[in-house]
Amino acid sequence: MGSYEQLPTSNVAANSNTCVTRINGRAVPAYYSYGNITVGTGNITTFSSNNTVIGNSTFFVTELGNGFVLRDSANVYIGKIGNIISNTSATLTANANIALANLEFKYQSFTVSEIVNDPTLGIGNITTFSNNNKVIGSNTSFLTQLAQTFQIFENVNNVPGNLIGVIQRITSNTEAELTTVSGYPGEVSYRFYDPFTESRPKIFN
């Protein structure tokens, strides 16, 4: 599985959504899916000051996987598994959201699948900024090509590059706004992707 930039936050209930994953350094749109919430075997200890997970009578190797979400007994988000070391030792991708002291836990499986259709090449060039969320187009057709929630990528050698941002508002064919400041500011040709368009996913090996 490639590394991924997930949109939106990882603190979610069981569902499916879209994200951006990187394959050989190239950003591509993908689906991410969380499975049902399941009670784990044994108890765990977690720490808000570090990413260590210590198990007691647990089976991390057979029950969990990288990217799986851990929750407490009340379904509160603890964190996401970054690495499984043994049946009783693992690490999260960041410090635990909450600390547990040898308590019951729950988990959700996690999968990422590439969306086969590449983002579409946009008309014209766009300029984005590191200090504001504006998108300024040159010879662009935002009103006909883009919509709210569309993901915008750099166009690098006719393939999608870095994720620039997500469209929040379109005001004209040459002016739009992102949900936040640009991830990669400057003037570029661009590609766009509608994350809610049904596309056939390809499961990563």
SS3 string, 95-162, reads CCCCCCCCEEEEEECEEEEEECCCCEEEEEEEEECCCCCEEEEECCCHHHHCCCCCEEEEEECCEEEE
The DSSP secondary-structure symbol of 83 reads E
Predicted model pTM? 0.51
- What pLDDT, in 10s, does the model give residues 115-128? 555 678 999 999 99
Phi-psi region of 197 (alpha: psi -120 to 50; beta: other; left: phi over 0): beta
Q: Distance from CA of residue 92 to its chain's centroid?
A: 16
Q: How confident is the model at residue 83 (pLDDT cuts 50, 70, 90)?
A: very high
What mean pLDDT comes out for the span 99-105? 97
pLDDT-based confidence at 199, cuts 50/70/90? very low
| pLDDT, averaged across the chain | 81
HSE value, Cβ hemisphere, 13 Å, CA-based, for 91: 8
Alpha-carbon torsion, ordered 94, 59, 57, 43, to 10 deg: 40
38-107 maps to CATH 3.30.70? no
**Across 188-195, average pLDDT:** 86
* Residue 95 banded pLDDT, cuts 50, 70, 90: very high
> Helix (H, G, I), strand (E, B), or coil: what is residue 143?
helix
Confidence of residue 41 (pLDDT cuts 50, 70, 90): very high
First-to-final CA distance of the chain: 6
Strands 110-115 and 175-178: unpaired
Q: Give backbone dihedrals phi and psi of 144, rounded to 5 degrees, phi first.
A: -100, -25
Residue showing tokens 């809610």: 196
